[in-house]
Amino acid sequence: MALGIFFAPVSGMNAQSNALSAVSDNIANINTVGYKSASTLFYTMLGSQPAASGISDEISTSKVDTFGVGSYTRYSILDQGVVTSTGNAFDVALNQENAFFAVNDGYGNIYYTRAGKFSQRAEGGVNYLINNSGYYVQGFKANGDGTFAATTSDVVIDPVSKMPAVPTTDMEIIANVPASDVDSAAYGLTVYGPENGGENMNMVFTKVEGKLNTWSVDFVAENGTVTGGPIEVQFSSDGKLVSPQSINITTNWNDGTSNNITIHIDKMTQYAGSDVETRISQDGVESGDYLGSYIDRDGVLRAKYTNDKTLDIAKLAVVGFQAPENLIPVSGTMFEATSDVGGSFYVIGSDTENLNVLVPESVEASNVRVEEEFAEMIQVQRAYNLNSNAFTVINEMTSTAIDLKS
Number of structural domains the chain divides into = 3
Q: What is the pLDDT along the chain (406 residues), one digit of tens a residue?
A: 456 677 777 888 888 888 888 888 888 889 889 889 888 888 777 655 554 444 444 444 555 555 788 887 888 898 899 999 999 999 999 999 999 999 999 999 999 999 999 999 999 999 999 999 999 999 999 998 999 999 999 999 999 998 888 999 999 999 999 998 899 999 999 999 988 888 999 999 999 999 999 999 999 999 999 999 899 999 999 999 999 999 999 999 999 999 999 999 999 999 987 777 679 999 999 889 999 999 999 999 999 999 899 999 999 999 999 999 999 999 779 999 999 999 999 999 998 877 889 999 999 998 888 888 888 888 888 887 887 888 788 777 777 777 676 6
Q: Is the domain of 196 the same as that of 273?
A: yes
Residues 267, 200 share a domain: yes
Q: Which of 282, 311, 342 is the last residue of a domain?
A: 282
Domain CATH for 230: 2.60.98.20
Same domain, 177 and 271: yes
Beta strand segments in 176-283, E: 184-191, 199-207, 214-221, 224-227, 231-235, 241-243, 246-253, 258-264, 277-282
* 266 and 324 housed in the same domain: no
Do 64 and 27 lie in a common domain?
yes
Q: Are residues 36 and 92 in the same domain?
A: no
Q: 242 and 316: one domain? A: no
- Are 125 and 215 contained in the same domain? no
Let me know whether 313 and 352 are in one domain.
yes
Q: Are residues 305 and 383 in the same domain?
A: no
Q: How many Cα atoms are found within 13 Å in the side-chain-facing hemisphere of 225?
A: 3
Q: Based on the fold, state whether residues 248 and 389 are members of the same structural domain.
A: no
Reported pTM: 0.72
Point out the domain boundary residue: 264, 282, 300.
282
Indicate if 186 and 120 belong to the same structural domain.
Answer: no
Residue-range definition of the domain harbouring residue 35: 3-76+367-405
